[in-house]
Chain A
Amino acid sequence: MNARASMGATDTVRNHETPEGIRLELKLAGPVVRACAWAIDMLIRGVMYALIAGVFSYFGGIGTAVILISFFLIEWFYPVIFEVLSGATPGKKAMGLVVIHDNGTPISFVSSVIRNLLRAADFLPLLYAVGLLSMLLSRDFQRLGDLAAGTLVVYREQAQERGKLPEAPSKPPPRELDVDELRELIMFAERSPKLTQERQVELASQLRSVTQKEGAAGVKEIFSYANWLTRGR
């Protein structure tokens, strides 16, 4: 498998390196959120079954044939169609999930068919017991269908709105901080519009030893550092 765990990480983030030398972060989805997605899909499929059965039962033999064939197609190919077209079934989309190959590329028709045919085995003996066991035993939460198709179910990344840095006079930060710590300062400044005044003060007061200031003045001080770091003097 290509998506290897980063060294010693116990969380559910997997990294994959692309041919361009870029590391992609893939956040794996666990059994519970996938079960919810499946339940939503079942509901949608139930409505589809009911609609098709309701409409075509008035059309005699041909109608029954249409019902049976649609039931067959929905049972086996409902997930395939959605996964190939948009990467996720409506249920998965609602839960913010997407199915991809273990190398980060979008799922292909072949892989989608494999993982969805093998549902028949994952479902055994009832309600995906085998699939759940497989997910718990495998490193990347893969049910048997995922293992055979080489696919992962991951969280769809949501684009983050970038807040504007709060205005403050530029001021160089103390010299003894290393780059990662400087980065934390920028991150705090960018997150600040989402935090309450009290919380900003609370967080800034932990850096009292750096800023040498108390309360709101400390917050202001960090904004100044962030401005210096991103914009210069």
Chain B
Amino acid sequence: MKQEAFEQRYQALWDELSTQLDAMEKSRFKRRNLTLQHERLPHLYRQVCNHYALARGRRYSPTLVEQLHQLVLRGHQQLYTRRGAWLWRLLTFIAVDFPSSLRTHLSYFLVATLLFLVPAVLVGGFAMVDSDLIYSVISEGQVEDMEEMYRPDNDRPGRTLERSAESDFMMFGYYIMNNIGIGFRTFAMGILAGIGTVFTLIYNGVVLGGVAGHLTSVGYTETFWSFVSGHSSLELTAIVICGAAGLMLGHGVLAPGRYRRIDAIKQRAKQALPLVMGAGLMLFIAAFIEGFWSASAMPNVVKYAVGIALWVLMILYFIFAGRGADGTR
């Protein structure tokens, strides 16, 4: 068949696919008043694929081939895309996917916990005995800030004097930016053969343990521990979960096993992402608690009770949520 006859026979079909693709490429809001015949798309697309192959094989003009190639590319993009149901996906993610994926990758979580907890306990213990040790961990100015934040006469614990007038909302915003950022970075550094993640976990353990030990040894226990009790469960666990996700990534880089290294990294990244996203949500809730609850004037007994209740609830959530759904563990 000559090119011109070919074009004349199929031009209508190409135009139909082209208009349909134009409409589908528009955003959801502009698309609303358009009538789309979605069921026609696969048929049209496969027809045009066929024409494209013919045009190439018969050495038709390069611009015609290019034009059909364009249609094929766009059709491919629309046919193989995923859409919709994001709210349902978010809910099943919280109820099932996140806790079950943590259970699936429990070993990484345990390693990350150790990497965080061992330095924290060691440095914390020594800082309780030796009140100068803290100066080798953080700078003098930071120690002063810390002491100021948790002085027993500070009625807004967790904030320095200059920040004590700041509203809870501002601190909420600050905790979101700072803490979730730390979580995300802890994960991302895992791509550097896991070294970045291991370093971040140990570093956080050393600093937090050191500060906690120091403040306990100078006797600011009531303000410090009551402040951190509320958000500690979610915040610390979330950072460790981000660490676990980073370790997965690093494991893929270092020991791909039976996969090609690049495929191992891709696979691990995909498996690790639910952990990071879940930890992000946890840090969001933790920021809310830290901003509006932890610095409030509630009696310490209530704060401790709520803190313990949150720890218990969180552990129960990770043990039981999503069990049995789709036969997952």
Q: Which residues of A contact B (CB under 8 A)?
A: 1, 18, 20-22, 24-25, 60-62, 64-69, 71-72, 75-76, 85-86, 100, 104-106, 108, 110, 113-114, 117-121, 124, 130, 144-145, 147-150, 157, 159-160, 162-163, 179-180, 182-183, 186-187, 190, 229-232
Contact = CB atoms under 8 A, between A and B. Distances in A.
Contacts of A71: 177
B67 interface: yes
Contacts of A72: 173, 176-177, 180-181
A183 B55 CA distance: 11
Which of A100, A119, A148, A162 has the largest number of chain B CB atoms within 10 A?
A148
Nearest to A87: B77
B297 interface: no
6 contacts: A61-B170, A68-B177, A72-B180, A72-B181, A121-B192, A186-B60
B181 A75 contact: yes
Contacts of B167: 60-62, 64-65
A21 B46 CA distance: 10
Given A62-B167, A183-B59, A148 B46 contact: no
Interface of B: 2-5, 27, 45-46, 49, 52-53, 59-64, 66-67, 69-70, 72-73, 76-77, 80-82, 166-170, 172-174, 176-177, 180-181, 184-185, 187-192, 196, 249, 262-263, 265-266, 269-270, 273, 276-277
A174 to B, nearest CB: 16
Contacts of B70: 157, 159
Nearest to A68: B173
A147 B59 contact: no
Given A20-B46, A62-B167, A75-B181, A121 B196 contact: yes
The main secondary structure of chain A at its interface with chain B is helix
B166 to A, nearest CB: 6
Nearest to B77: A106
Contacts of A187: 61-63
Contact of A148 (B64, B181, B265): B265
A211 B53 CA distance: 31
Contact of A117 (B63, B72, B76, B187): B187
Given A120-B188, A148-B266, A61 B166 contact: yes
